[in-house]
Amino acid sequence: MNSGMYAAISGNLAAMRRLDIISNNLANVNTAGFKKDKMSFEGLLASNTNPPKVPQSTTADPILQKENVYIDYSSGPVSQTGNTLDLALDGDGFFAVAAPDGTAYTRQGNFRLSADGTLVTSDGYPVLGQGGVIRIQGNRVEIDSKGGVTVDGNPAGTISLVDFEKPYKLTKLGSTLFVSADQQEPRQSATTQIRQGHLEGSNVETISEMVQMIETNRYFEACQRVIRGFDDMAAKAANDLGKL
């Protein structure tokens, strides 16, 4: 196979991967606390890989597309909801929640109460406080900027606000939960503050994502044209040789 064919196919695969990422971002544009994924590309000579990703030939080594997918942790827009249990984080950091496989972290603050009064996420996972889960039995709930919860004037616990060393080494668990990729232990954040009655939205910018989708579609089509060109060249060479 012509070495140029490998580069074009590599570009097609990278474009398909990027379209999947953009589609997922757009699907979560209205998901509170969602952090978009991004993808960057770099050229990679086949001869520099060990072992080479394509057979070596006498022609120039093809340039393959190597993609790097990462999470954009920038804050989303914060809106006032007036809901007592809607909490937005001001600054870096995360809420800690008790997921089925262990502690997970999120910035999605549209919490609610379970049947027994436990403060839980929209998925039903308990929100962790500094001394365990937070249970609310009463009517008037107030949460201060440091996470202190009072119910009808009585202390009910303190919501745990944590952060990690940067750059973050987290992986996604679902759409809005994160887990530590290297088992790094979080630390209590002294700078993160809570805004009660507010909610952080998704950091996906619809127009930007749509522009990237158009660009990626055009790139995919360009790679397809290159592949068809090489295919036509190969077919013509085979037909012409057959006439000799």
Task: Give the model's pLDDT for residue 231.
Answer: 73
Write down the mean pLDDT value for the chain.
86
Residue 175 confidence (pLDDT) above 80: yes
Mean pLDDT of 128-149: 93
Residue 177 confidence (pLDDT) above 50: yes
Residue 217 confidence (pLDDT) above 50: yes
Top pLDDT among 128 and 14 is at: 128
pTM of the entire predicted model: 0.81
Question: Could you tell me how many residues make up the chain?
Answer: 244
Task: Give the model's pLDDT for residue 13.
Answer: 85
Q: Which of 5-19, 53-67, 106-120 has the highest mean pLDDT?
A: 106-120
Residue 183 confidence (pLDDT) above 70: yes
Do 184 and 165 meet the contact criterion of CB atoms below 8 Å apart? yes
Q: Which long-range contacts (CB under 8 A, 24 or more apart) does 108-116 make?
A: 108/31, 108/32, 108/33, 108/34, 108/176, 108/200, 109/32, 109/33, 109/198, 109/199, 109/200, 110/32, 110/33, 110/83, 110/85, 110/86, 110/199, 111/85, 111/86, 111/87, 112/85, 113/85
Could you report the per-residue pLDDT of 197-209, keeping only the tens digit for each?
A: 999 999 999 999 9
Could you report the per-residue pLDDT of 31-83, keeping only the tens digit for each?
A: 999 999 998 765 554 455 554 455 544 444 455 556 688 999 999 999 999 99
Least confident of 140-149, 210-219, 232-241: 232-241
Task: Give the model's pLDDT for residue 98.
Answer: 95
